[in-house]
Amino acid sequence: MAAELLSRRQHTADTLKLLGTISDSVARAQRLVADLLDYTLLQEGRGIALHPVLCDLSEAVARCVEELRLTCPDYPLIHLHLGERSALFDKDRLHQAVGNLVANAVAYGERGAPIQVTSRSYGRAATVSVHNWGVPIPAELLGRLFEPLVRGQQRAAKAGSIGLGLFIVRQIAQAHAGEVSVTSTEQAGTTFCITLAMPLPQ
Ligand SMILES: Nc1ncnc2c1ncn2[C@@H]1O[C@H](COP(=O)(O)OP(=O)(O)OP(=O)(O)O)[C@@H](O)[C@H]1O
Ligand SMILES: [Mg+2]
């Protein structure tokens, strides 16, 4: 937060770059701690704690994207909303899931290429997807991606990642009576899509 506030003042390009690196490292540490804590609780047989509220999906995802932009200034991070606006979900949990997906898009996608977050709400079901360009995920990894402690062979995956991000994303989606799916090809890029399908209150 302090680094983000500082970055809004006048600085040289070098200082701004350093502040970007600090924001990125802090966000990464926060993500790892949150995922590790959830993993430990899940191992203990406790489910993902969820506080769903009926709210504006477009606004919640826009805020989340705005915050994530500060952690990856070198990537155009685009948000698009389609359909109705309201949906039933836990804002913090959605933020955690989208944060994990965007962090992956930055770590494993094509450097500097646009990353698109699309939210949609249609009646009972809402979806949030994250798309990036770059080398597609190998077929043998696609089937195991959402299992805990599974990592790929990329340099970014070997350096300091633990393979929990997508496992937690799946737990969050399932806690919302939904799922997460992935498609990944050279031509179409990589898209992860979370469905939120909790029954709306009558
Ligand atoms: N958008 C993506 N493009 C290409 N490969 C991806 C993408 N997202 C995930 N992967 C691959 O899936 C693996 C598992 O991702 P996951 O987020 O679960 O763990 P991680 O990123 O390795 O570690 P952590 O998220 O715990 O820091 C990654 O190591 C990477 O190989
Ligand atoms: Mg990850």
- Measured in Å, residue 185 CA sits from the centre of ligand 1 at 16
Q: For residue 134, what are the contacts with CB-CB under 8 A and spacing of at least 6?
A: 108, 109, 110, 113, 189, 190
Q: Ligand 1 in contact with 163 (CB < 6 A)? A: yes
79 beta partners? 117
Q: Is 181 a domain residue?
A: yes
* Cα-based distances in Å from 1 to 6, 8, 107, 126: 9, 11, 22, 30
Q: Is 80 exceeded by the pLDDT of residue 62? A: yes
Smallest CA separation from ligand 1 atom 25, residue: 165
| Nearest alpha carbon to residue 150 among 132, 170, 176 | 170
Q: Is 90 exceeded by the pLDDT of residue 36? A: no
Q: What mean pLDDT is predicted for residues 58-73? A: 93
Q: What mean pLDDT is predicted for residues 42-71? A: 91
* Residue type present at position 15: T
Provide the pairing of β-strand 189-196 with 180-185: antiparallel
Q: Is 202 a domain residue?
A: no
Q: Is 168 a domain residue?
A: yes
| Gap between the Cα atoms of 113 and 132, Å rounded | 7
**Which CATH number goes with the domain that contains 144?**
3.30.565.10
Q: Which domain holds residue 72?
A: 2-196
Instruction: Decide if 133 contacts 113 (C-beta within 8 A).
Output: yes
pLDDT at 55: 92
Confidence of residue 65 (pLDDT cuts 50, 70, 90): very high
Instruction: Decide if 78 contacts 62 (C-beta within 8 A).
Output: no
Summarised one tens digit per residue, pLDDT across range 130-142 is 999 999 999 999 9
Q: Is 90 exceeded by the pLDDT of residue 58? A: yes
pLDDT at 3: 65
Q: Ligand 1 in contact with 65 (CB < 6 A)? A: no
pLDDT at 17: 74
Atom of ligand 1 nearest to the CA of 152: 31
pLDDT at 100: 96
Summarised one tens digit per residue, pLDDT across range 111-122 is 999 999 999 998
Q: Is 20 a domain residue?
A: yes
| Gap between the Cα atoms of 120 and 136, Å rounded | 25
Structural domain count of the chain: 1
Q: What mean pLDDT is predicted for residues 89-117? A: 96
Q: What mean pLDDT is predicted for residues 162-188? A: 96
Residue whose entry in the numeric block shows the structure tokens 């933020």: 95
3-state secondary structure of 190: strand
- Measured in Å, residue 118 CA sits from the centre of ligand 1 at 20
Q: Is 80 exceeded by the pLDDT of residue 2? A: no
Question: Could you tell me the end-to-end alpha-carbon distance of the chain, in angstroms, rounded to an integer?
Answer: 39
- Measured in Å, residue 151 CA sits from the centre of ligand 1 at 6
Q: What mean pLDDT is predicted for residues 94-109? A: 96
Instruction: Decide if 53 contacts 59 (C-beta within 8 A).
Output: no
| Gap between the Cα atoms of 149 and 193, Å rounded | 20
Q: Is 201 a domain residue?
A: no
Q: What mean pLDDT is predicted for residues 20-38? A: 79
122: number of CA atoms within 13 Å, CB side? Answer: 6
